[in-house]
Amino acid sequence: MIKHYPYKSLGGANHGWLKSKHHFSFAHYYNPTRMGFGKLRVVNDDWVEPGTGFPSHSHRNMEIISFIRSGAITHKDSTGNSGVTKAGEVQVMSAGTGIVHSEYNRSKEPLTFYQIWIETNKNDVEPRWESKKFPTEQASNLTLLASGYPEDKGSALFINQEARIYGGKLAKGTIIEHDISNQAYILASTGMFKVEDSLEKSSGAVTMNKGDGMEVTQSKSITLRASTDCEIIIIDTIE
């Protein structure tokens, strides 16, 4: 079963230096029907003006993943970690017992990224941060970016939850079958593509445009058809 959320239907905020679209209730945007999707709690589609950013603030017991779409984000936290994560790279922060961090756009171009929060399956772990570069060229499948499953250790960034996050770019005309372990939330980062649920083929495919979101439940696989060159993210996590 699939449920489509067009970009124009999302919540959001415009602070001038920060423009954000919220797929779920966040900060001053509250929608009682959109409080999360299983263990997935937050998906924010953020645009950050050059020379600005998020000053020091704290988090606790949450897995926070940032998928950088363009530009670069500069991270610094209370555990001594610091680094710059660029377009095509992903960073993960396990807030655990508590961490204070700041994130800034120190570049001369706008920063765009998805900020993804997933509820942890293990409270009060030691806080940690890491980032990793993944292939940015078009491929025939989506790359595993982050995972909480032991068998994926080493190939993806680690998160404290039974979840997998996939992402990547597909060329126009590419068709792939993607397996779903639990339930999935799909993000259209760029371009246009069609999604067909293996259980609802008679209903036809649903078109996703840039910025859209989609829930997939009760299905073990989907078909993705790239109508244009596109970038897709899939968050597969337990209920």
Interval 224-230 mean pLDDT: 98
Interval 7-22 mean pLDDT: 97
Euclidean distance between CA atoms 187 and 168, whole angstroms: 11
Q: What pLDDT, on a 0 to 100 scale, did the predictor assign at position 202? A: 61
Q: What pLDDT, on a 0 to 100 scale, did the predictor assign at position 174? A: 97
Instruction: Quote the percentage of the chain above a pLDDT of 70.
Output: 99
Interval 88-111 mean pLDDT: 97
194: number of CA atoms within 13 Å, CB side?
A: 13
Q: What pLDDT, on a 0 to 100 scale, did the predictor assign at position 38? A: 97
Interval 161-184 mean pLDDT: 97
The phi, psi pair for 8, rounded to 5°, reads -70, -15
Interval 2-20 mean pLDDT: 97
Structure tokens at 55: 């000053």
The domain that contains 15 carries what CATH number?
2.60.120.10
Q: Is residue 164 very low, low, confident or very high in pLDDT (cuts 50, 70, 90)? A: very high
Amino acid identity for residue 146 in this structure: A
34: number of CA atoms within 13 Å, CB side?
A: 23
The domain total for the chain is 1
Euclidean distance between CA atoms 229 and 12, whole angstroms: 26
Amino acid identity for residue 223 in this structure: T
Tell the burial category of 176 from Cβ atoms under 10 Å away from its Cβ (0-12, 13-18, 19+): middle
- 134 is in which domain, residue-wise? 2-237
Q: Is residue 204 very low, low, confident or very high in pLDDT (cuts 50, 70, 90)? A: confident
